[in-house]
Amino acid sequence: MLKGKRAIVTGGTRGIGKAIVLELASKGCDVVFTFQSSVEAAKLVENEAEKYGVKILGLQADASKYAEAEKTVNFTLEKLGGLDILVNNAGITKDNLLIRMSEEDFDKVISANLKSVFNYTKAVAKHMIGQRTGRIVNISSVVAIIGNPGQANYVASKAGVIGLTKSNAKELASRNITVNAVAPGFILSDMTEKLNDKQKEAIISTIPLKRIGTAENVAKVVSFLVSPDAGYLTGQVISFDGGMAM
């Protein structure tokens, strides 16, 4: 479905990001994915994707810095010969109650989760505008819609991602560039695996479908949004949360 397409995925070594890289690869898409620090983890993703017969390349980059976003775009154009898709997934958490949250931790989360979306969208926009086509998907979160105690910085950053998505969708639509967001709910991850049964039950009780989602399921939603089938869909936020934000 995506054979011959070229993509950038930020934060692609674990969780939802890794699942997106592998899903796009399985559909025939060449991918450059960024990572913050773990070269070893990046190599593992590259090796796992080899079976799909496409180009999968990791690039160490700090998504919170615009110069690094430009570096990523230039690297992608050089190594893959073009760029059709951007998935803004990079992000961090530094949770704490508001009265205990440091200014530094607030700024770091806003920079990593929100400014990174601005950086990469701006960096790819000129190229996509020139070719008059492109697909951009931003990973937000259900908490951007419903809020969450102890995550003021994270919630604010992910709510900002939704605002950027809608504004950029309107700016870029005339050039046949779609911009959408996915807002996952509770997703199986290294973090959820560390929870005890009581904690898991408490989480599941808040989900109408009574189960936790998977990163692979999120990746399939992203795969649809960047496909030709979603060409008339833009400015939307897909809540992938088992019904939490109904």
Q: Which residues are catalytic?
A: 154
Nearest residue to 33 (alpha-carbon basis) of 5, 14, 52 = 14
Q: Name the one residue in this structure whose structure tokens are 């960024």.
A: 34
Contact 24, 56 (CB under 8 A): no
Q: Mark out the alpha helices in the chain (DSSP H runs).
A: 15-26, 39-49, 66-80, 103-110, 116-131, 143-146, 152-172, 190-193, 197-204, 215-225
Task: Please enumerate in sequence order all residues whose Cβ is within 8 A of that of 208, keeping only pairs 6 or more positions apart, or say none.
Answer: 242, 243, 244, 246
Dihedrals phi, psi of 181, to nearest 5 degrees: -130, 150
Q: Is 13 helix (H, G, I), strand (E, B) or coil?
A: coil
